[in-house]
Structure 1
Amino acid sequence: MTGRARPIPPPNRASRLTTLPSTTSQVVIVTGNGYSTTYATLETFAKAGGHWVAVSAPLPARIGSKGFSDNHVEGVPTTPTGVYSLGRTMYGIGANPGVRYPYHQVVTNDWWNENPESSLYNTFQHSATNPGGYSEALWKEIPAYTHFAVITYNMPPNVATPEPYAGSGIFLHEFSTASGNATAGCVSLSHANLVSVLRWLDPARSPRIVICPAQNLGRY
Structure 2
Amino acid sequence: MSFRTGVLPAALLAAGLLLTGCATEPSPRSVSNGSEGGSIGRSAPEPPTVVPVRAEEIPALGPKTRGQIPDATRQAIVVTGESPRSNRSTAVLYERDPVRGWQPVSGPWPARNALRGWTDDHRQGDLRSPVGVFGLTDAGGRLPDPGTKLPYDRGPAFSARGTGFDGQALAGAFDFVVAVNYNRKPGTTPLDWTRPLGASKGGGIWIHVDHGGATQGCVALPRARMKELLRWLDPAKHPLVAMGDAAALAR
TM-score by length of 1: 0.75
1:51-80 Cα shifts (integer Å, max 9, x gaps): 110011211000001111111111121101
Confirm or deny: 8 A CA contact 1:201 1:207 kept in the other structure. Answer: yes
TM-score by length of 2: 0.67
- What is the 5 A alignment of 1:130-145? 138-141=158-161, 142-145=171-174
Confirm or deny: 8 A CA contact 2:56 2:102 kept in the other structure. Answer: no
Measured after TM superposition, the shift of residue 165 of structure 1 is 1.0
Q: Matched residue of 1:58: which SS?
A: strand
Moved more, 9-18 or 59-68: 9-18
- What is the 5 A alignment of 1:40-189? 40-50=89-99, 51-87=101-137, 89-107=138-156, 110=157, 138-141=158-161, 142-156=171-185, 161-176=196-211, 180-189=212-221
Measured after TM superposition, the shift of residue 106 of structure 1 is 1.4
1:79-136 Cα shifts (integer Å, max 9, x gaps): 010110013x3111011111111211113xx3xxxxxxxxxxxxxxxxxxxxxxxxxx
Confirm or deny: 8 A CA contact 1:35 1:67 kept in the other structure. Answer: yes
Aligned to 2:5: none
> Following the alignment from structure 1 to structure 2, what is the Cα–Cα distance between the partners of residues 140 and 166?
22
> Following the alignment from structure 2 to structure 1, what is the Cα–Cα distance between the partners of residues 199 and 60?
32
State the Cα RMSD in Å. 2.5
Confirm or deny: 8 A CA contact 1:43 1:56 kept in the other structure. Answer: yes
> Following the alignment from structure 1 to structure 2, what is the Cα–Cα distance between the partners of residues 64 and 160?
20
> Following the alignment from structure 1 to structure 2, what is the Cα–Cα distance between the partners of residues 103 and 35?
32
The aligned length equals: 184
Confirm or deny: 8 A CA contact 1:14 1:52 kept in the other structure. Answer: no
Give the structure with the larger strand fraction: 1
Gaps of 5+ in 2: 1-19, 22-49, 162-170, 187-193
Q: In structure 2, give the amino acid aligned to 1:13.
A: P
